[in-house]
Chain A
Amino acid sequence: MSRPDAASDLPRSQIDLLSSRRPSARTLWLTGAAGVLVVTVFSIVGATSERLPHPAVGVIIVCWVTVPYLASGLIAWWRRPASRLGLLMLAAGFATPLALLPVANNKVLVSIGQLFEVLPAAMYLHVFLAYPTGRLRRWPERLVVVSCYVAALGLTAVKIALGSSPSNIFTVSVHPVAALRLGQVQFALISALLLCGAALLYLRRRAAGRSPRRFSALLVDAFGLALVTLAALSIGGIRAWSGIGIVQGVTSVTLGLAPVAFLVALLDLRLARTDVGGLLIELDRDPTLDLQAPLARALHDPSLQLAYWLPDHDTWIDQAGGRVTLPGPDQRRSIQMIYRDHEPVAALLYDPALDDEHELLNAVSAAAGIALENGRLRAELRAKLQQLQSSRVRVLEAGRRERQRLERDLHDGAQQRLVGIVIQLGLLENQTTTDAQTKRRLTKTRQEVSESLDQLRDIARGIYPAVLSGHGLAIALESLTASAAVPVSLRVGLTERLPEPVEVAAYYVVSEALTNIAKHAHASSATVDLERDTENLIVEITDDGIGGANTVGGSGLRGLSDRLDVLGGKLHIANPAHGGAKLRVEIPCA
């Protein structure tokens, strides 16, 4: 059994859907204006540069990357305030134009620009790894991103202080060899970290699931390649390499398209969220709905399972009422606990691919809300019904065994003893050759005992049809139908023995039906037909009497129908207009 405490160390989040606030329109407008300003200023700086061989090309490349980041960031911040990715993309957008400063005509601007020259690479890495929540949730991701920032800002500052660009105003003392070596180390380190980032993206997607859930997620992953080309660029910075121009072009194009892909993916999450609306409509239409299927639809996860917590029984059950065990944290299922008043109500077991979309999970859980509580009550009811059913089966089976034991005791005890007495009386009778009166008395006594034995046999037979255990339905029914009040044509189409409770039930069905026919039907003949289909034993009893068979009133068919009910069987009575009656019984015998 898995207690909720045991699951509490699993990734889960409280229902905090409403806690993320949407930025005001003013903030958005101001940020947009700042973006336009930055792009304009830096474009002027680039366009007027005397150091760039083709100033226009440089400006276009920077704008190609900057504008999508700013625009996508702004839209993401507006439409998906809960995700910090929007803000992160905005930051990357503002950082990118810094790359133009080193080509400025002003010495101070150049010096500042050189300090932040490598920063954008670290920011891109951050954005890629933080998709889609804007947060770095695992320690390897945090380590890689923080290291990259340190390498991009810290090592650059040290390099410049050591005089990597002697004209920089931040130069402290000039050590050209040390500065050069440091620069090479820095580029190698950044390349390695970028490649680590790409590897983490790949691993995350592999762990996320057998079937990537959305095309847009694939799109985002594809842009992870940008990290690889960035790494190549960084390596190219160490050694002069002729192919660097092509790599530069590819990198710029990919980097410019990446934020668009992120935005599409984020909006796609919103599209998925509209299914929460569908869920709400479904719940509104039918408040007694079983939740698992609608939740699975809303979350686009067919493998989703819903488990309810039963505090009274200290156990989890599924919606059908069956006991379930929550998987441990190492297994390839994720769990979201749903609480109400700090008490667990339910748990969602879902594809780990949804781990990236906790807010969607939260939204769906919140929408399910009160329906979950109803669902739990229903599941609990079903669990109780199952218990009741299995206890009914146990009671019936215990009764059957008890009857079987009783019959056996009678057979091996009283009946055998009476037979022994009959034999002894017979022997005495045989020895008494002279006294005719004693002999007659002995004969009479022997016959009396025989008659008692007969009655005892009838009782024992009524208690349990022993011939059934010993010889099966065909033989037992042969005797039963032979002693029926009307001629019965019997057909038993069975090739093998069935479970004893099923055979006993079928025997009593035929026995009770024949008694009924004898008492009420005024029939002149009957048929009994037994056959098996894949799941059931089918017993059909027909007669040519006056009809009117039913299970109400004092009929023995009433008790039969209860007994069949316990075994999951069905009883159907037809009284056709042209007379006669047909009783059809199906008993599952799997």
Chain B
Amino acid sequence: MRIAIAEDSMLVREGLTRILREADNDVVAAFDNADDLLREVQRTPPDLVIVDIRLPPTHADEGIRAAIHIRQHHPEVAVLVLSQYVELGLAMQLLSDSAEGVGYLLKDRIGDITEFTSAVQRVAAGGSAIDPKIISALLQRRRSDNPLTHLTPRERDVLKLMATGTSNQGIADRLVISTRAVEKYVSSIFDKLGIPSTRNESRRVIAVLLYLRT
């Protein structure tokens, strides 16, 4: 897989490159700013870009703007955004069109190499990867008449993984259950929460996020 990186911390950039190469990826370019990345994508679009949200010169929104630009103008390029903070607002902005081929993770998730490389694979393959921290913050809220309380603990686990973009196979592997069991849980969750059911794994990410946000 051909990957281009924009990350201004040398330490993180090098570590990231090494991890990706060790997982048999072709890191075609690694920049410390967004403009160079945009030029590279324009010239020879890679399969996936990995972008830090805070990039020079202003360290404001250069990274997220580059990510959104690439998603709009190069839909064939998957985008994984890394950040020191995860913001629901930015996640919703990134997912505004679709959750296909998009990821938004905290930077230190890179350290869990197995998990990270599988998220990279998933995003590159058109799936999604949303940081679990966003989901758990949403799940912690107190609600009067909360349908989430009707979920079984197992169903909650499935919901969390589903919301982060994990595929049915991934959920099955993680929870050591069969994919058939996962499918059963998923349809039960959709029933209990009143979310229109969808078999598309990316579309259900947005549906769940929208549900949890309100």
B residues 70-91 with Cβ under 8 Å of A?
84-85, 87-90
Verify if B175 is at the interface (C-beta below 8 Å from A): no
On whether the beta carbons of A419 and B12 are closer than 8 Å, the reply is: yes
B residues 113-165 with Cβ under 8 Å of A?
113-114, 116, 134, 137-138, 140-144
Roughly how many angstroms separate A450 CA and B115 CA in the complex, as a whole number? 15
Q: Contact flags (1/0) for A142-173 with B, using CB distance below 8 Å? A: 00000000000000000000000000000000
Verify if B60 is at the interface (C-beta below 8 Å from A): yes
Q: Which of A417, A461, A524 contacts B143 (CB 8 A)?
A: A524
The chain B residue sitting closest to A475, CB to CB, is B89
On whether the beta carbons of B84 and A427 are closer than 8 Å, the reply is: no
Verify if A423 is at the interface (C-beta below 8 Å from B): yes
On whether the beta carbons of A425 and B111 are closer than 8 Å, the reply is: yes
A residues 406-448 with Cβ under 8 Å of B?
408, 411-412, 415-420, 422-427, 429-430, 446
Roughly how many angstroms separate A18 CA and B111 CA in the complex, as a whole number? 94
A245 to chain B, nearest CB (A): 92
The chain B residue sitting closest to A489, CB to CB, is B214
Verify if B213 is at the interface (C-beta below 8 Å from A): yes
A255 to chain B, nearest CB (A): 82
On whether the beta carbons of A487 and B143 are closer than 8 Å, the reply is: yes
On whether the beta carbons of A470 and B141 are closer than 8 Å, the reply is: no
The chain B residue sitting closest to A484, CB to CB, is B141
Q: Contact flags (1/0) for A269-282 with B, using CB distance below 8 Å? A: 00000000000000
Roughly how many angstroms separate A470 CA and B88 CA in the complex, as a whole number? 14
Roughly how many angstroms separate A32 CA and B109 CA in the complex, as a whole number? 112
List residues of chain A with CB within 8 A of the CB of B143.
486-487, 524
Known A-B contacts A430-B113, A482-B88; A423 and B12 likewise in contact (beta carbons under 8 Å):
yes
Verify if B61 is at the interface (C-beta below 8 Å from A): yes
List residues of chain B with CB within 8 A of the CB of A457.
84-85
Verify if B110 is at the interface (C-beta below 8 Å from A): yes
On whether the beta carbons of A471 and B144 are closer than 8 Å, the reply is: no
B16 to chain A, nearest CB (A): 7
B94 to chain A, nearest CB (A): 11
On whether the beta carbons of A485 and B142 are closer than 8 Å, the reply is: yes
The chain B residue sitting closest to A476, CB to CB, is B89
List residues of chain B with CB within 8 A of the CB of A418.
108
Q: Give the one of B18, B84, B144 with max A CB within 10 A.
A: B84
List residues of chain A with CB within 8 A of the CB of B93.
475
The chain B residue sitting closest to A419, CB to CB, is B107
The chain A residue sitting closest to B86, CB to CB, is A479
On whether the beta carbons of B9 and A419 are closer than 8 Å, the reply is: yes
Q: Which of A420, A429, A446, A475 contacts B11 (CB 8 A)?
A: A420
On whether the beta carbons of A427 and B15 are closer than 8 Å, the reply is: yes
Q: Which of A423, A482, A485 contacts B111 (CB 8 A)?
A: A423
Give the size range of B's interface with the partner: 35 or more
Roughly how many angstroms separate A485 CA and B137 CA in the complex, as a whole number? 10
Known A-B contacts A475-B93, A479-B89; A426 and B113 likewise in contact (beta carbons under 8 Å):
yes
Verify if A575 is at the interface (C-beta below 8 Å from B): no
Verify if A184 is at the interface (C-beta below 8 Å from B): no
On whether the beta carbons of A478 and B11 are closer than 8 Å, the reply is: no
Known A-B contacts A419-B108, A426-B113, A450-B108; A477 and B15 likewise in contact (beta carbons under 8 Å):
no
Verify if A483 is at the interface (C-beta below 8 Å from B): yes
On whether the beta carbons of B61 and A478 are closer than 8 Å, the reply is: no
B12 to chain A, nearest CB (A): 5
List residues of chain A with CB within 8 A of the CB of B111.
419, 422-423, 425-426, 446, 449-450
On whether the beta carbons of A422 and B110 are closer than 8 Å, the reply is: yes
Verify if B92 is at the interface (C-beta below 8 Å from A): yes
On whether the beta carbons of B144 and A525 are closer than 8 Å, the reply is: yes
Verify if B112 is at the interface (C-beta below 8 Å from A): yes
List residues of chain A with CB within 8 A of the CB of B88.
478-479, 482-483
On whether the beta carbons of A486 and B141 are closer than 8 Å, the reply is: yes
Verify if B54 is at the interface (C-beta below 8 Å from A): yes
List residues of chain A with CB within 8 A of the CB of B59.
408, 412, 470
Roughly how many angstroms separate A469 CA and B59 CA in the complex, as a whole number? 9
Q: Contact flags (1/0) for A107-147 with B, using CB distance below 8 Å? A: 00000000000000000000000000000000000000000
Verify if B29 is at the interface (C-beta below 8 Å from A): no
List residues of chain A with CB within 8 A of the CB of B53.
470
Known A-B contacts A418-B108, A470-B60, A477-B89; A423 and B144 likewise in contact (beta carbons under 8 Å):
no
On whether the beta carbons of A471 and B84 are closer than 8 Å, the reply is: no
Verify if B19 is at the interface (C-beta below 8 Å from A): yes
On whether the beta carbons of A453 and B108 are closer than 8 Å, the reply is: yes
Verify if A467 is at the interface (C-beta below 8 Å from B): yes
List residues of chain A with CB within 8 A of the CB of B112.
426, 446
On whether the beta carbons of A487 and B15 are closer than 8 Å, the reply is: no
Verify if A283 is at the interface (C-beta below 8 Å from B): no
List residues of chain A with CB within 8 A of the CB of B144.
524-525
Q: Contact flags (1/0) for A543-579 with B, using CB distance below 8 Å? A: 0000000000000000000000000000000000000
B65 to chain A, nearest CB (A): 10
Verify if B64 is at the interface (C-beta below 8 Å from A): yes
Known A-B contacts A415-B84, A466-B85, A482-B137; A427 and B90 likewise in contact (beta carbons under 8 Å):
no
A513 to chain B, nearest CB (A): 16
On whether the beta carbons of B87 and A423 are closer than 8 Å, the reply is: no
Q: Contact flags (1/0) for B16-57 with A, using CB distance below 8 Å? A: 101100100000000000000000000000000000011000
List residues of chain B with CB within 8 A of the CB of A461.
85
On whether the beta carbons of A423 and B141 are closer than 8 Å, the reply is: no
Q: List 11 A-B contacts (CB under 8 A).
A: A411-B84, A412-B9, A415-B84, A416-B9, A419-B108, A423-B16, A470-B54, A470-B64, A478-B87, A524-B142, A524-B144
Closest 6 CB pairs of A and B: A478-B89, A420-B11, A475-B89, A423-B15, A422-B111, A426-B111
- 17 new A-B contacts, CB < 8 A, other than A426-B110, A487-B143, are A411-B54, A412-B9, A416-B9, A419-B11, A420-B9, A423-B15, A423-B16, A424-B15, A427-B18, A430-B22, A467-B90, A470-B53, A470-B59, A475-B90, A478-B89, A479-B89, A485-B141
